[in-house]
Chains A and B, each alone.
Chain A
Amino acid sequence: MKQAISINVNGADHAGEVEPRLLLVHYLRDVLGLTGTHIGCETSICGACTILLDGQAVKSCTMFAVQADGSNITTIEGLATNGNLHPMQEGFWECHGLQCGYCTPGMIIAATQIVDRNPNPSRDEIRHGLEGNLCRCTGYQHIVEAVEYAAAKKSGV
């Protein structure tokens, strides 16, 4: 039995009926066509599917769309404002924080939360903050630098 949900994604309201077992990540990708959120494991390990749900970084592969009813979601597509890259996106570009780019949307979203919670994180804190996000390409060092870049930019350094 389909259930009615209404979710705000990247500032736009979406209402519709979905199967109760539809994963949130499939709702975003297949129903809304927001394919920037990726799937790398389906078991809550890799973080490729990370989104912001009411401001919290969550893994959308282990949540049902119906559980997100009534929430506000930000995906990678919604991070830039008025065509300007988010400082975290800028940091990843400047510091070569991505190679194949597959982990990147989830990484960037998770990283924004690290800086939101701690405007001046140490390298260790950044690394621990990224524990739930796996990258097979970069070796993480440029990602850590990207987060530092974004933190510095945000606090106007």
Chain B
Amino acid sequence: MTKYVGQRVKRTEDPRLIKGLAHYVDDIGLPGTLHVAFVRSMYAHAKINGIDTTEAFKAPGVVAVYSGKDIATKVGPVPCAAALPDLKVPDYRVLATNKALFVGHPIAAIVATDKYAARDAVDLIFVDYEELPAVVDVEAAANGGTIIHESFGDNVAYKLTSGEGDIDAAMKAADKIVSQKMVHQRLAPIAMEPRGVLARYFPGEEELTVWSSTQIPHLLRTQLALMIGIPENKLRVITPEVGGGFGSKLNVYAEEALLGWISIQLGKPVKWIESRRENVQATIHGRAQVGTVEVGVKNDGAITGLRYNVVADLGAYHQLLTPAIPTLTGLMLSGAYKIPAIQMNVTGVFTNKMSTDAYRGAGRPEATYVVERVMDVIARELNLDPIEVRRKNFPKADEFPFHTATGLDYDSGDYDGALNKALDLSGYQSLREEQKKARDNGKLIGIGVSSYVEICALGPSQAMPAGGWESATVRIEPTGKVTVLTGASPHGQGQETSFAQIAADELGVDLNDVTVIHGDTGIVQYGIGTFGSRATAVGGTAVLIAIQKLKEKASKIAAHMMQCEASSLSFEDGCYTKKEAAAASVTGKSEPVVPVGEGPAGALNDVPTPTNGRHKLTIQEIALAAHVAKEIPPDTEPGLSATYFFEPKNFTFPFGTHVCVVEIDKETGETKIVKYVAVDDCGKVINPLLVDGQVHGGIVQAIGQALYEEVVYDEQGQLVTGELMDYALPKASQMPWFETDRTETPSPVNPLGVKGVGEAGTIGATPAVVNAVVDALSAYGVTHIDMPIRPEKIWKLIR
């Protein structure tokens, strides 16, 4: 019975947000709070010969100044959780000690009584830099030159080969080898709320509370406890409202540990709110791969094998998952296709830049881009229709679970179904005709298609560095209100609503009687967090199963109270009913149900006792009885709550097809998206409104990558795009109207049948846009253009 699941339920978290009454980290004020500002390296690569803090110390309001030497041995290094064979892991201290390795590398921390004073004092710290040659070009860095971490002997952090099948034989069996070099430019996640930390140490209790804008409160707590050296059970991490993350807050940052440590030193609350400039400099970046794909194809378009040789720009250090991201690319290189042999050879390389790490899609957009871009290149070389090449290589709907040569088992899918729907919805055939006419009239119109598969619901613990399960506790309080504690950590995705939908349906209660709590390690059982489109598939399932456990207990209590067997009870609309009584009520002999929560204020309802001969009890009445514990079965624990940790057996694999139509202005080279159709299949949908929102937002980030965004470091490693004035985020006026639709192939991996949708747009849309642009320019002999496809690039090409 679903009253809420599947409906466009508007979000329960919205009222506080639209009234301006929500609390992000910077909105939390504690009396006596001190403010922290950082001195950051202005060079990409420099020796630090000395730091003079005398002037800063004397400045008004300054309370303390710390530099790398002060704390080198006191705070542990920034952790990397990725485990790869022979991975070189540099010692990443929270403040630079001898060398600064990227622009924005923190060198000293200033603590002052207000934030203006702290920022003023930054200019009073004199760092004696000795500039070194910067390592910027990732391909050159892979082959020698200046070494960033001297003790390693070169700049290569690791080399890894992955994939299954005999790739050499596959290439030999091909009629043709198609190859294409592609650049996946470096991107900045730019959550609209920058990072921020507030730390407060209670010297009496010896407890530290850290408020941080993070996606992973529990994992952060574990890591901070290790870094700072405080027992994990004396450390509480609270994630208040989080203004977006997109992977950038799926990390453990130097500043988080430093603030905690400083608060302990000073016994005072300390706060640091990242400026946007710091955010672009020192919050992780994404993508940054340069690779060449080679595909063996038969003349009819059938793919025999795929090889991808790629150099990944890791930046100067490993953040939490830095080296692991390109391995996700390797996993998804089969795309939506049957490819008998696949091989990825990745070289992870250090450069004098901020670390790359998980940015929405995290390695999968690169794979999808490679595969979907090269499908068009293949079609062009073989003179085939790009749609036909895709269809030729799709696994059929009855071939699932489908094993790929990257070692995955795709759970369920109907790729042809989604493609057909997208083609219908976009009117693909007539679009092609219109395109022809427009071309005859001298207009540059292009149509691009992308059929993607992504890997979601991360994931089985076997495949995850710190566990891939998720947790939930569900309680029914004595007054009948339902509390759900989730280990997931939503930061805009809306799980306060979608989890409440699941709970309200399962318990037969009103949505407004359910509260979903997350993001406080002092309240919520250990959890993994929100990333990798996992929260609903893994965390939502934990909620569902916790409720099922809770209901098992409730039905035992109900049976005891109604003096019958649990098996003779039915549960509907939040009530346990004796089956014979239910039958009787059809004949008109029903009995009144006592509504819960309608007693006089301050009074609890009467607890029904077995002796009053009731045949129907609400789950709230049972909750009350369970709490007062006078009339529960002898072998039953009092209270009514259940906790469940859900371990998924596999990932889930959402898929879809996007169609993009662009028009290019010949005079300016500007690309305008004139039509955009997205058909996505994310399995069962809990809340279509939220799914649409995720799809729209994802597509816009993908368009951002295709057309506008790029983190640019110049030859000296200076960050050229250091503010939103230079880093071009997509604006409302540049975006088209999205036509979205869905197919629904439930996932067998979890009982909800959901797959996840957080990253689908970002993964599916980038190649659709680029394919459309290349298609528009085909008359000029263009077969590929690297992103971002800004007007000047096109303008130069068609001159």
Interface status of B699 (Cβ within 8 A of chain A): yes
B19:A80 contact, CB within 8 angstroms = yes
Q: CA of A75 to CA of B27 in the docked complex: distance in angstroms?
A: 15
Interface-forming stretch among B145-153, B324-332, B580-588, B688-696? B688-696
Which of B192, B723, B732 lies in contact with A131, CB distance below 8 A?
B732
Which A residues lie within 8 Å of B701 (CB)? Answer: 136
B18:A100 contact, CB within 8 angstroms = no
Given the interface pairs A130-B733, A134-B731, A136-B244, the reply to whether A40 lies near B193 with Cβ below 8 Å is yes
Which of B244, B273, B737 lies in contact with A102, CB distance below 8 A?
B244
B242:A100 contact, CB within 8 angstroms = yes
Which B residues lie within 8 Å of A35 (CB)? Answer: 20, 23-24, 26-27
B19:A143 contact, CB within 8 angstroms = no
Interface status of A137 (Cβ within 8 A of chain B): yes
The smallest beta-carbon distance between A142 and chain B, in angstroms, is: 6
Interface status of A48 (Cβ within 8 A of chain B): yes
Which of B15, B192, B194 has the most A CB atoms < 10 Å from its CB?
Answer: B192
Q: CA of A42 to CA of B26 in the docked complex: distance in angstroms?
A: 14
Q: CA of A127 to CA of B673 in the docked complex: distance in angstroms?
A: 14
The smallest beta-carbon distance between A154 and chain B, in angstroms, is: 16
Given the interface pairs A131-B731, A139-B698, the reply to whether A123 lies near B737 with Cβ below 8 Å is yes
Q: CA of A136 to CA of B761 in the docked complex: distance in angstroms?
A: 13
Map CB proximity to B onto A83-123 as digits: 1 under 8 Å, 0 otherwise. 00100010011101011111111001000000000000001
Considering only CB atoms, which chain B residue lies closest to A104 in the complex? B17
Map CB proximity to A onto B353-397 as digits: 1 under 8 Å, 0 otherwise. 000000000000000000000000000000000000000000000
Quick one: which of B5-20 are within 8 Å of A by CB?
A: 10-11, 13-15, 17-20
Number of A-B pairs, beta carbon distance below 8 Å: 170
Interface status of B287 (Cβ within 8 A of chain A): no
Which A residues lie within 8 Å of B494 (CB)? Answer: 99
A38:B193 contact, CB within 8 angstroms = yes
Interface status of A144 (Cβ within 8 A of chain B): yes
The smallest beta-carbon distance between A4 and chain B, in angstroms, is: 19
Q: CA of A136 to CA of B190 in the docked complex: distance in angstroms?
A: 7
Which A residues lie within 8 Å of B193 (CB)? Answer: 38, 40, 100, 102
Which A residues lie within 8 Å of B443 (CB)? Answer: none
A101:B492 contact, CB within 8 angstroms = yes
Q: CA of A63 to CA of B243 in the docked complex: distance in angstroms?
A: 24
Q: CA of A96 to CA of B26 in the docked complex: distance in angstroms?
A: 25
The smallest beta-carbon distance between A89 and chain B, in angstroms, is: 4
Given the interface pairs A39-B26, A99-B244, the reply to whether A45 lies near B725 with Cβ below 8 Å is yes
The smallest beta-carbon distance between B616 and chain A, in angstroms, is: 36
The smallest beta-carbon distance between B106 and chain A, in angstroms, is: 19
Which of B14, B29, B192, B242 lies in contact with A40, CB distance below 8 A?
B192
A134:B18 contact, CB within 8 angstroms = no
Q: CA of A139 to CA of B18 in the docked complex: distance in angstroms?
A: 18
Which of A41, A89, A126, A144 lies in contact with B18, CB distance below 8 A?
A89
A92:B14 contact, CB within 8 angstroms = yes
B731:A36 contact, CB within 8 angstroms = no
B692:A96 contact, CB within 8 angstroms = yes
Q: CA of A96 to CA of B689 in the docked complex: distance in angstroms?
A: 7
Interface status of A81 (Cβ within 8 A of chain B): no
Which B residues lie within 8 Å of A53 (CB)? Answer: none
Which B residues lie within 8 Å of A102 (CB)? Answer: 24, 191-193, 243-244
Interface status of A24 (Cβ within 8 A of chain B): no
Considering only CB atoms, which chain B residue lies closest to A48 in the complex? B192
Given the interface pairs A108-B18, A136-B729, the reply to whether A43 lies near B192 with Cβ below 8 Å is no
A100:B243 contact, CB within 8 angstroms = yes
Which of B13, B246, B692 lies in contact with A142, CB distance below 8 A?
B692
Which of A36, A140, A143 has the most B CB atoms < 10 Å from its CB?
Answer: A140
Given the interface pairs A36-B21, A139-B698, the reply to whether A19 lies near B116 with Cβ below 8 Å is yes
B243:A138 contact, CB within 8 angstroms = no
Quick one: which of B144-190 are within 8 Å of A by CB?
A: 190
Which B residues lie within 8 Å of A105 (CB)? Answer: 20
The smallest beta-carbon distance between B501 and chain A, in angstroms, is: 14
Given the interface pairs A136-B729, A139-B699, A139-B700, the reply to whether A40 lies near B18 with Cβ below 8 Å is no
Q: CA of A77 to CA of B17 in the docked complex: distance in angstroms?
A: 10
Interface status of A21 (Cβ within 8 A of chain B): yes
A99:B493 contact, CB within 8 angstroms = yes
Interface status of B795 (Cβ within 8 A of chain A): no
A21:B116 contact, CB within 8 angstroms = yes
Given the interface pairs A48-B192, A102-B24, A136-B246, the reply to whether A93 lies near B10 with Cβ below 8 Å is yes
B18:A137 contact, CB within 8 angstroms = no
Which B residues lie within 8 Å of A40 (CB)? Answer: 192-194, 276, 724
Which of A76, A127, A136, A141 lies in contact with B20, CB distance below 8 A?
A76
Considering only CB atoms, which chain B residue lies closest to A21 in the complex? B116
B738:A139 contact, CB within 8 angstroms = yes
Which A residues lie within 8 Å of B698 (CB)? Answer: 139
Q: CA of A103 to CA of B20 in the docked complex: distance in angstroms?
A: 11
Which of A123, A134, A141, A143 lies in contact with B724, CB distance below 8 A?
A134
B696:A138 contact, CB within 8 angstroms = yes
Q: CA of A28 to CA of B690 in the docked complex: distance in angstroms?
A: 32
Q: CA of A22 to CA of B695 in the docked complex: distance in angstroms?
A: 40
Interface status of B735 (Cβ within 8 A of chain A): yes
Q: CA of A38 to CA of B213 in the docked complex: distance in angstroms?
A: 14
Quick one: which of B192-214 are within 8 Å of A by CB?
A: 192-194
B14:A136 contact, CB within 8 angstroms = no
A142:B10 contact, CB within 8 angstroms = no
Q: CA of A21 to CA of B120 in the docked complex: distance in angstroms?
A: 12
A101:B693 contact, CB within 8 angstroms = no
Quick one: which of B89-118 are within 8 Å of A by CB?
A: 116
Which of B11, B275, B492, B696 lies in contact with A141, CB distance below 8 A?
B696
Interface status of B313 (Cβ within 8 A of chain A): no
Interface status of A60 (Cβ within 8 A of chain B): no
Which of B18, B22, B242, B493 lies in contact with A92, CB distance below 8 A?
B18
B732:A144 contact, CB within 8 angstroms = yes
Given the interface pairs A40-B194, A96-B11, A102-B192, the reply to whether A141 lies near B729 with Cβ below 8 Å is no
Q: CA of A46 to CA of B724 in the docked complex: distance in angstroms?
A: 8
Q: CA of A99 to CA of B724 in the docked complex: distance in angstroms?
A: 21
The smallest beta-carbon distance between B35 and chain A, in angstroms, is: 10
Considering only CB atoms, which chain A residue lies closest to B27 in the complex? A35
Q: CA of A144 to CA of B153 in the docked complex: distance in angstroms?
A: 55
A101:B725 contact, CB within 8 angstroms = no
Map CB proximity to A onto B216-251 as digits: 1 under 8 Å, 0 otherwise. 000000000000000000000000011110100000
The smallest beta-carbon distance between A101 and chain B, in angstroms, is: 3
A131:B244 contact, CB within 8 angstroms = no
Given the interface pairs A38-B24, A89-B19, A123-B737, the reply to whether A100 lies near B700 with Cβ below 8 Å is no
Interface status of B491 (Cβ within 8 A of chain A): yes
Q: CA of A29 to CA of B273 in the docked complex: distance in angstroms?
A: 14
Which A residues lie within 8 Å of B735 (CB)? Answer: 127, 139-141
Which A residues lie within 8 Å of B18 (CB)? Answer: 76, 85, 89, 92-93, 98, 101, 104, 108
B19:A36 contact, CB within 8 angstroms = yes
Interface status of A135 (Cβ within 8 A of chain B): yes
Give 24 CB contacts A-B under 8 Å.
Answer: A19-B116, A29-B26, A33-B29, A34-B20, A38-B24, A38-B193, A43-B723, A45-B725, A76-B20, A77-B20, A77-B21, A85-B19, A92-B18, A93-B15, A96-B11, A99-B693, A100-B241, A102-B243, A104-B17, A136-B701, A137-B697, A139-B698, A140-B696, A141-B735
Pairs of residues from A and B, 3 with the lowest C-beta to C-beta distance, nearest first:
A36-B20, A102-B243, A139-B696
Known contacts A40-B193, A93-B18, A130-B733; can you find 14 more A-B pairs with CB under 8 A? Answer: A21-B116, A35-B24, A36-B20, A36-B21, A79-B19, A93-B11, A101-B17, A124-B733, A127-B735, A131-B732, A133-B732, A134-B731, A138-B696, A142-B696
**CB within 8 Å of B: which residues of A?**
19, 21-22, 29-30, 33-43, 45-46, 48, 75-77, 79-80, 85, 89, 92-94, 96, 98-105, 108, 123-124, 126-128, 130-131, 133-144
